[in-house]
């Protein structure tokens, strides 16, 4: 569940910073999955839930490293699901939209145009709260999801379901 973001335009980003985001957001989940899978393979059962991102589906300026890492994590999730399904291991992901966390605090301040954009662009009209992810995590960790494998469930207030600004009517 570890993740970092560096909000820097791609043309200005240091390669070291790009690599650091990839290491934390993509290589870290690979290492953890590899470590836990060994025991799961022995037990012939297991659930891995990666925290992906809506940014694996969309482009946006100044988050190229983060979006690249999360796009890679989406595909890692699908590949591990394929490889480990024969061992009764399900590997899925949760793709949060815009959530009120310490990472987004700098862009959620009143008066920040991006804050207003997200509130106005998201059909639910708000940023997500971390608690909004709990039900999806419980579902993916439970037996109810035993035939769900290689999927990313987006918890985004509907932002990926629409184009343009939702109507206020």
| Rounded (5°) CA angle 162-53-67 | 100
User: Closest by alpha carbon to 29, among 59, 57, 62, 56?
Assistant: 56
Average confidence (pLDDT) over 51-63: 90
Strands (E), 12-88: 46-51
Note if 154 is an active site residue. Answer: no
Could you give the 3-state DSSP secondary structure of residue 126? coil
pLDDT confidence of residue 166: 62
Cα separation values, 151 from 57, 90, 95, 140, 148, Å:
13, 9, 10, 10, 7
Q: Tell me which CATH homologous superfamily contains domain 10-161.
A: NAD(P)-binding Rossmann-like Domain (3.40.50.720)
Q: Which of 18, 66, 127, 154 is catalytic?
A: 66
pLDDT digits (tens, 9 = 90+) for 66-91: 999 999 999 999 999 999 999 999 99
- Sheet containing 89-96: give its strands across: 46-51, 89-96, 152-155
For position 60, what pLDDT does the model report? Answer: 85
From CA 124, how far away is CA 132, in angstroms rounded?
Answer: 12
* Predicted local confidence at residue 74, as pLDDT: 98
Phi, psi of 98 (to 5 degrees): -90, 115
Q: 30 and 77 in contact (C-beta within 8 Å)?
A: no
The residue-averaged pLDDT of 109-119 equals 88
- Report domain extents, the chain: 10-161
- Alpha-carbon gap, residue 128 to 6, rounded angstroms: 21
Give percent of the chain with pLDDT exceeding 90: 79
Contact assessment for residue 98 and residue 104, using Cβ atoms and an 8 Å cutoff: yes
Compute the average pLDDT of residues 102-128. Answer: 90
């Amino acid at each position: 569940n570890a993740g970092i973001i560096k909000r820097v335009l791609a043309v200005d980003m240091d390669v070291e910073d790009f690599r650091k985001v990839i290491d934390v957001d993509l290589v870290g989940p690979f290492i953890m999955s590899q470590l836990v899978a060994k025991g799961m393979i022995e037990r012939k059962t297991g659930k891995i839930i990666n925290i992906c991102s809506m940014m694996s589906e969309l482009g946006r300026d100044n988050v190229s490293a983060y979006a690249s890492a999360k796009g890679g994590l989406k595909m890692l999730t699908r590949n591990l699901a394929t490889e480990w399904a024969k061992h009764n291991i399900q590997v899925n992901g949760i793709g949060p939209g815009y959530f009120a966390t310490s990472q987004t605090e700098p862009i959620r301040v009143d008066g920040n145009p991006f804050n207003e954009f997200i509130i106005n662009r998201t059909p639910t009209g708000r940023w997500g709260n971390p608690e909004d992810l709990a039900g999806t995590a419980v579902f993916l960790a439970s037996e109810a999801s035993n035939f769900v494998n290689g999927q990313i469930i987006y918890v985004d207030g509907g932002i990926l379901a629409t184009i343009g600004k939702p109507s206020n009517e």
